Amino acid sequence: MTKQERKSIITAIVNGSEFKIKNQPYYTYKFTINKTKDSGYVVNSTTSQYQGNIDKVGRVRLSGYAFVMDKRVKIELNAEMLELV
């Protein structure tokens, strides 16, 4: 996968396209209230269940965090592991 293809995947996700992480269910990126493209959260598309916060949108990666058992866990989604639906 070229760098341009990875960048276009991240751009499509930030613009609202559904995506999959390997064999997991479909997810959607949602903006926070201030509607900046560099902060938001990821939800499960079928159940609308919260999955994690995204606090940095890079060219080829989304970075963020989620809380698991009251502990903050880093999330990093690389374009190579994501697949548009």
Domain that holds residue 19: 3-84
pLDDT tens digits, the chain, 85 residues: what are they? Answer: 788 888 899 889 888 888 888 778 888 888 776 655 567 888 988 888 888 998 888 888 989 999 999 999 999 989 988 888 8
**Residue 5 CA, distance from chain mean position:** 16
Token duo for residue 62 = 């989304």
The number of distinct structural domains making up the chain is: 1
Token duo for residue 4 = 């341009």
User: Which residues fall within 8 angstroms of residue 64, CB to CB, at 6 or more apart?
Assistant: 41, 42, 52, 53, 54, 55, 56, 74, 75, 76
Separation of alpha carbons 80 and 59, rounded Å: 12
Helix (H, G, I), strand (E, B) or coil at 17: coil
